[in-house]
Chains A and B, each alone.
Chain A
Amino acid sequence: MWTITKRTFMAGTLLAGLALPVAGQAQEKIKIGMTVSSSGNFALASQSGVRGVEIWVDEVNANGGLEVNGEKRLIELVKRDDRSDKQMVARVYEDLIANEDVDLLMAPFGSTLTAAAATVTERLDKFMVIWSAASDALYNQGFKNIVSATQMPVSRMPSAGLEAAAALGGKKVAIVNVDEPFPAGLADGAEAIAEKLGMEVVLKEDYPKGTKDFSLLLQKARAAGADVFFPTSYEGDLISMVRQMRQMNVNFPFSFMVYASTPQFIEIGDDAQYIYSHTNFHPTINWEVDAGLDREGFLAAYEKLFPDVSYEPDFQTVLAYGAGVIAGEIIENAESLNAADLKKAAMELSDNLTVLAGPYAIDETGKQLKMPFPVVQLQPGKGLVTVWPKEVAVAEPIYPIPGWDQRD
Chain B
Amino acid sequence: MNELLLQGLVNGIVVGLIYALIGVSLNVIFGVLRVVNFAHGEFIVLGAYGAYFAQAWLGLSPLLALPLIFIVFGLMGYGLYFVLVKRLARSNDPEHASLLVMFGLSLVLGALMLLAFEADARSLNFTLDPPFLMFGNIILPTTKLLGLAVAVVVTGALAFFLYRTLPGKALRAIIMNRDAIQIVGVDLNHLSALTFGLGLGLAGITGILVSMIFPSFSPFIGQDYTLIGFIVIVLGGLGHPIGAVAGGILFGLAEQTAMVFFSGTVAMLLGFVLLIAVILIRPAGLFGVQNSR
Contacts and interface: CB of A to CB of B under 8 A. Distances in A.
B127 to A, nearest CB: 8
Given A207-B263, A243-B215, A247-B144, A216 B11 contact: yes
Contacts of B3: 223
B22 to A, nearest CB: 10
Contact of A206 (B122, B123, B125, B265): B265
B263 A247 contact: no
B227 interface: yes
Contacts of B143: 247
Contacts of A269: 125
A213 B8 CA distance: 11
A208 interface: yes
B263 A244 contact: no
Contacts of B218: 236
A239 B215 contact: yes
Contact of A208 (B123, B213, B260, B264): B264
B4 A248 contact: no
Contact of A207 (B127, B139, B216, B265): B265
A22 interface: no
Size bin of chain A's contact surface: 20 to 34
A268 B123 CA distance: 7
Contact of A205 (B141, B216, B264): B264
A206 B269 CA distance: 13
B214 A247 contact: no
Nearest to A404: B131
B264 A207 contact: yes
Contacts of B17: none
Contacts of A216: 4, 7-8, 11, 256, 259-260
B131 A249 contact: yes
A220 B267 CA distance: 14
A181 interface: no
A379 interface: no
Nearest to B121: A236
A212 B214 contact: yes
Given A239-B216, A247-B141, A219 B4 contact: yes
B141 A210 contact: no
B214 A213 contact: yes
Interface string A227-239: 0000000111101
A99 interface: no
Contacts of A404: 131
A264 interface: yes
B221 interface: yes
Nearest to A210: B224
21 contacts: A179-B265, A208-B264, A210-B224, A212-B214, A213-B15, A213-B213, A213-B214, A216-B11, A216-B260, A235-B121, A237-B216, A240-B214, A243-B215, A244-B141, A246-B127, A247-B131, A247-B132, A247-B141, A248-B132, A249-B131, A268-B125
Interface of A: 179, 205-208, 210-213, 215-217, 219-220, 223, 234-237, 239-240, 243-244, 246-249, 264, 268-269, 404
Interface of B: 3-4, 7-8, 11, 15, 120-123, 125, 127, 131-132, 139, 141-144, 210, 213-218, 221, 223-224, 227, 256, 259-260, 263-265, 267-268
Given A215-B11, A220-B260, A235-B216, 16 more contacts: A179-B265, A207-B263, A210-B224, A212-B224, A213-B15, A216-B8, A216-B256, A234-B121, A236-B216, A236-B221, A239-B121, A240-B216, A243-B123, A246-B127, A246-B131, A404-B131
